Amino acid sequence: MSTIEKPDSGPDIASGRLSPADYAANFTDLHPPLDPHEALVEADRCYFCYDAPCTIACPTSIDIPMFIRKIATGNVDGAADTIFSANILGGMCARVCPTETLCEEACVRNTAEEKPVRIGLLQRHATDHYMAGHRTWGSRKPATGRRVAVVGAGPAGLACAHGLAMEGHDVTIFEAREKAGGLNEHGIATYKTVDDFAAYEVDFVTGIGGIEIRSGTALGRDVRLADLRRDYDAVFLGLGLQAVNALGLDGEAIEGVVDAVDWIERLRQAADKSTVPVGRRVVVIGGGMTAVDAAVQARKLGAREVVMAYRRGPEQMNASEYERQVAQVHGVTIRFFAEPRAILTSSGRLAGVEFETTRLGEGGRLERTGERFMVEADQVMKAIGQVFVPGPVAAEALALDGNRILVDDEGRTSLDKVWAGGDCVRGGEDLTVVAVEHGKQAARSIHAMLSA
Amino acid sequence: MADLRTNFLGIKSPNPFWLASAPPTDKKYNVVRAFQAGWGGVVWKTLGEDPPIVNVNGPRYGAIHAGDRRLIGFNNIELITDRPLEANLREIAETKKEWPDRALVVSLMVPCEESNWTAIVRRVEETGADGIELNFGCPHGMSERGMGSAVGQVPEYIEMVARWCKASTRMPVIVKLTPNITDIRYPARAAHAGGADAVSLINTISSIMGVDLDTFAPAPSIDGKGSHGGYCGPAVKPVALNMVAEIARDPATRGMPISGIGGVTTWKDAAEFIALGCGTVQVCTAAMTYGFRIVQEMIDGLSDWMDSKGYASIEDFRGRAVPNVTDWQFLNLNYVTKARIDQDLCIKCGRCHIACEDTSHQAITAMKEGVRHFEVIDEECVGCNLCVTVCPVENCITMEQLTAGTDPRTGKPIETTYANWTTHPNNPMAKVAAE
């Protein structure tokens, strides 16, 4: 830990920096939904491509040209049918998917005029329309009497549960937290999912029936995997990630240095955003979507200066160019090729971060240059990735690959009758839509096993 | 700068763009606004006998839209003018006096008696109008009373009325034809035989624009009921061009002046009608969609195109397309084309592939060496042009003529000579027996 001499009363971290009106304005929809006219105009732009590149780019393979054509012909609920049949969390995915790197990046309109069809907003139009008039989607086949345990009520677990419930199986979801939804509920920026949408969607998904959620029930603490394997016909693990990577610097535990994921969760769960403290000057360390969400929301809470520092360049960044633009539009300064080397303190309290500049050397290897600079900060948010902690399943003979659970193409783990999906498995891309696909595919595989 | 002036039957106008007899020309207020905007002439909305007809008090118009609610087809159940004859005649006289350089033709429709026609023609003559147009076209309402298309569908009536009118006035007589007939040449020949100076076409096409799926009422609907209306707008242009061409190339009517009507929306549309022999064009739907100001685009576009082609006047290119309209039997069967996809312009939507694969000749790839790629398979391509028509990018797919070698589809050598169906060996009626 280094110190800098500065007569200072300590870091300025405070809540209530803004007027009530500012809080209200800052935490509404970042992208307002399309109104019916806008949706028709946008739907008209779709070419109804053959073997559509957008559908290929969608991890859940939503038949995008078909749902857009249904919007264009006035069959908006039918459009939602097309979406939900491929992705039961199509409502949330419409809000949080990085469409600019998925369906919309693949849109042939990019080639034609560098302006893709706004697929995400059209999907939201259709799913919002449907969800406003229906309490669930799909119907259950006759009960099979088979029981499946799903661990984790995040996107993977919910998608798996819905798929199994449709087939007539009974599902019990074990969720460690009090609220279901996983990162949709706890980890995504507030302005992407307003009006408690994540909770609303959980009700929508489970509204099909045959799904029981036992919240506050943690694997390893309240239930054991071995018991679930004994008591249920199959088990799906949608555990997510449990810990945030550490910077590995002295002083990381000092007051004012926080995990971005925790800070975002607190903000999401705060009914009154004016109660959430934020630093006057904030440094966010990391280059992913969590870093962007934290940086932008820090600004929205009234932080004067927000610097987002990433040790590599824009090409290597997980956050898309579009996400970077969102950050920059909101006044976030992005510093590339800046690696944190020391937490700076003054009188024993947080004062800033010292960085060393880096560059890409031979073979794309990151090199330090020896040049250092300081950024003063009242608050530091760590967003350098999350890790899977196998704790609760470590006791079982569950094979890992790297640091995550090893699964095959259908989501089967090395344990009999146990499937896994979402961020906790190898190959997870830390995206809601990928987790939904894992859950969907696992449900198919489990159903095939149960029907055999 | 090209000279756009026209002299149609001695009626002079500064440009070939006339407003057709329709709501935009129902009264002086509108016509003056049109002249101020630059229209070369108008055909005043059809006059009838007093007491004036009445119109419905509900919707008169219906439409079909392409994407983004672009109006491509339009229809109406409005009748002829519902204003007193006297008011119209007075305003016609005033307008002609104030705008002497513009063409002012008056459309007429009265019961099929000589005295009725003679009487109204004389009244119109007194206004100083440039000519009359006999409305034998309207398919709705008036036709139930033996007027409009009820006359236009009977060539003998056309000839008879045209003759009465020619005999009673110094003014040029234009006969407006209905397209609601099997062969447009018969009414045109009748107009010619009756001494009419010209024909104008097409009037509107009998149509129902849609059915309301909640009320099961046809559109436009009046209190839950609907009656067929007259269809017009961009979508009818191909029908109009064909009928114009049929008259232009018919030996019986060849050379008879034609005022072209039907979906004229841009300068290009007008140029096409003129190329098929029209001396002027008449416009309605485009004005009703966008307002009178569109004529400025039409004038400018036509003038610029004529300059680029070296045409000094309308007559320089009028009718140039007529000799190229022929019967199918005379089309050159030795003309072989293949589609060509410009890979730089291709946006890879795949519509050419699926259209060809599902509905035509399986002649476009979807994949090449594992990559999404659309390319014509010459061995299968019959040159049908479907891919060109479904491609969303202009000029991305074009048709290329094979001028040498063999056609990979048929294996037959490309012949540079002309050969058509009349001499084809497969034709049982071939004029020259196959060797």
Kindly report, residue by residue over B315-347, the tens digit of the pLDDT. 999 999 999 999 999 999 999 999 999 999 999
Overall average pLDDT of the A181-192 stretch: 90
Query: Is the per-residue pLDDT at B434 higher than 80?
Result: no
Helix, strand, or coil here: B406?
strand
Strands B210-211 and B218-219, sheet pairing: antiparallel
DSSP B423: G
- A104 Cα to chain B: minimum distance (Å): 14
Residue whose C-alpha is closest to residue A290's, from A264, A317, A256, A321: A264
pLDDT at A3: 54
As beta bridge partners, residue A308 has A284, A334
Q: What are phi and psi of A203, to 5 degrees?
A: -65, -40
DSSP A250: T
DSSP B350: -
Residue whose C-alpha is closest to residue B69's, from A248, A36, A166, A310: A36
- In chain B, what percentage of residues exceed pLDDT 90? 94
Q: From start to end of B31-102, where are the E strands?
A: 41-47, 61-66, 70-76
Cβ separation B349–A49 shorter than 8 A: yes
> Using CA atoms, how far apart are residues A417 and B251, in angstroms rounded to an integer?
86
- Amino acid identity for residue A177 in this structure: R
Query: Is the per-residue pLDDT at B435 higher than 60?
Result: no
Cβ separation A50–B67 shorter than 8 A: no
What's the ipTM? Answer: 0.88
Which residues of B are designated catalytic?
138
Residue B139, preceding bond cis, omega within 30 degrees? no
Taking CB atoms and an 8 Å cutoff, what residues of chain B touch A50? 349-351, 353-354, 366
Average pLDDT score over chain A:
93
CB-based burial label for B390 (10 Å; 0-12, 13-18, 19+): middle
Helix, strand, or coil here: B44?
strand
Taking CB atoms and an 8 Å cutoff, what residues of chain B touch A109? 347
CB-based burial label for A120 (10 Å; 0-12, 13-18, 19+): buried
pLDDT band of residue A254 (cuts 50, 70, 90) is very high
Strands B229-232 and B205-207, sheet pairing: antiparallel
Q: Does A51 touch chain B (CB under 8 A)?
A: yes
Indicate the helix (H) or strand (E) that contains A324: helix A321-329
> Which residues make Cβ contacts (< 8 Å) with residue A132, sequence separation at least 6?
none
Q: Name the residue in chain B with its Cα closest to that of A108.
A: B347
Count of CB atoms situated within 10 Å of the CB of A229: 17
> Using CA atoms, how far apart are residues A65 and A55, in angstroms rounded to an integer?
8
Taking CB atoms and an 8 Å cutoff, what residues of chain B touch A38? none
In this structure, what token pair is assigned to residue A429?
A: 């891309």
Contact A159, A446 (CB under 8 A): no
> Which residues make Cβ contacts (< 8 Å) with residue B90, sequence separation at least 6?
none
pLDDT band of residue A241 (cuts 50, 70, 90) is very high
Q: Does A37 touch chain B (CB under 8 A)?
A: no
Nearest 5°: CA angle at B217, between B148 and B261?
Answer: 35
pLDDT at A2: 56
Helix boundaries (H) for A330-408: 391-394
Interface probe for A, chosen from B349, B351, B394 (most Cβ of A below 10 Å), is B349
As beta bridge partners, residue A358 has A368
pLDDT at B226: 95
A199/B147: higher pLDDT: A199
In this structure, what token pair is assigned to residue A27?
A: 């935490």
Kindly report, residue by residue over A261-296, the tens digit of the pLDDT. 999 999 999 999 999 999 999 999 999 999 999 999
> Using CA atoms, how far apart are residues A126 and B53, in angstroms rounded to an integer?
49
pLDDT at B101: 98
Q: How many residues does chain A have?
A: 452
- B211 Cα to chain A: minimum distance (Å): 15
Contact B261, B215 (CB under 8 A): no
Query: Is the per-residue pLDDT at A115 higher than 60?
Result: yes
